[in-house]
A and B are shown apart, each in its own frame.
Chain A
Amino acid sequence: MSETGHERWNDEVAAYMLGALEPHEVEKLERHLERCELCRDQMRWLRPAVGALPESVERLGPPPGLRDRVLGEAEIRPRSSAPLRGLRGRARAWLGGFGSRGRGWRPAFAAAASLLAVGAVMLIAFEIGRLSGDYVPPTSTARAGEAPAIAAEVVREGSHGTLRLENVPPLEDGKVLEAWVQRGKVTEAVPALFVPNRERRAWTMIEGMRGVDAVLVTEESRGGSEVGTPTSGPLVRVEMPAEES
Chain B
Amino acid sequence: MTRMGMTRERAERLADEELMPLIGTRDPEAFAVFYDRHGGAAYSLAYRIVGERGAAEDVTQGAFVSIWRSGARFDRTRGSVRAWTLGIVRNRAIDSLRSRARRAPSLDFDDEGILERRSGGVPTEEEALRHETAGELRGALGQLPVEQSKVIELAYFGGFSHAEIAQMMGLPLGTVKGRMRLGLEKIRAEMAEGVV
Interface residues of A (CB under 8 A from B): 10-15, 17-22, 45-63, 66-67, 69-71, 73-78, 128, 131-132, 197, 199, 201, 203-205, 207
Residues 115-137 of B at the A interface (beta carbon under 8 Å): 118-119, 121-124, 127, 130-131, 133-134, 137
List of B residues within 8 angstroms of A75 by Cβ: 28
User: Known contacts A58-B48, A60-B119, A70-B61; is A46 also within 8 Å of B184 by CB?
Assistant: yes
**Complex Cα distance A225/B156, Å?**
42
* Shortest Cβ gap from B66 to chain A (Å): 7
Cβ of B32 and Cβ of A20 under 8 Å apart? no
User: Known contacts A11-B177, A56-B137; is A47 also within 8 Å of B79 by CB?
Assistant: yes
* Shortest Cβ gap from A139 to chain B (Å): 22
The segment out of B12-20, B38-46, B104-112 that lies at the interface is B38-46
* Shortest Cβ gap from A158 to chain B (Å): 15
Instruction: Determine the interface band of chain B, counting residues with CB < 8 A from chain A.
Output: 35 or more
**Complex Cα distance A132/B123, Å?**
36
Cβ of A66 and Cβ of B131 under 8 Å apart? no
Cβ of B28 and Cβ of A10 under 8 Å apart? no
**Complex Cα distance A132/B62, Å?**
18
User: Is B91 at the interface (CB under 8 A from chain A)?
Assistant: yes
**Complex Cα distance A45/B192, Å?**
10
Choice from A51, A70, A128 contacting B79 with Cβ under 8 Å: A51
List of B residues within 8 angstroms of A14 by Cβ: 177, 180-181, 183-185
User: Is B194 at the interface (CB under 8 A from chain A)?
Assistant: no
Interface residues of B (CB under 8 A from A): 1, 3, 26, 28, 31-32, 35-36, 39-45, 47-48, 53-54, 57-58, 60-62, 64-66, 68-69, 78-80, 82-83, 86, 89-91, 94, 99-100, 102, 118-119, 121-124, 127, 130-131, 133-134, 137-138, 140-141, 152, 155-157, 159-163, 165, 174, 176-178, 180-181, 183-185, 187-188, 191, 196
List of A residues within 8 angstroms of B62 by Cβ: 203, 205
List of A residues within 8 angstroms of B66 by Cβ: 205
List of B residues within 8 angstroms of A52 by Cβ: 137, 140, 187, 191, 196
* Shortest Cβ gap from A17 to chain B (Å): 7
**Complex Cα distance A48/B57, Å?**
26
Choice from A19, A62, A67, A197 contacting B159 with Cβ under 8 Å: A19
**Complex Cα distance A102/B10, Å?**
47
Cβ of B43 and Cβ of A74 under 8 Å apart? no
List of B residues within 8 angstroms of A207 by Cβ: 69
Cβ of B123 and Cβ of A19 under 8 Å apart? no
Cβ of A15 and Cβ of B180 under 8 Å apart? yes
List of A residues within 8 angstroms of B141 by Cβ: 53, 56
Known interface pairs A14-B185, A47-B83; 17 further A-B residue pairs with C-beta atoms within 8 A, sorted by A's residue number: A14-B181, A15-B177, A15-B181, A20-B176, A48-B191, A59-B40, A59-B119, A60-B122, A61-B127, A62-B39, A67-B36, A67-B39, A70-B64, A71-B35, A74-B32, A203-B61, A203-B62
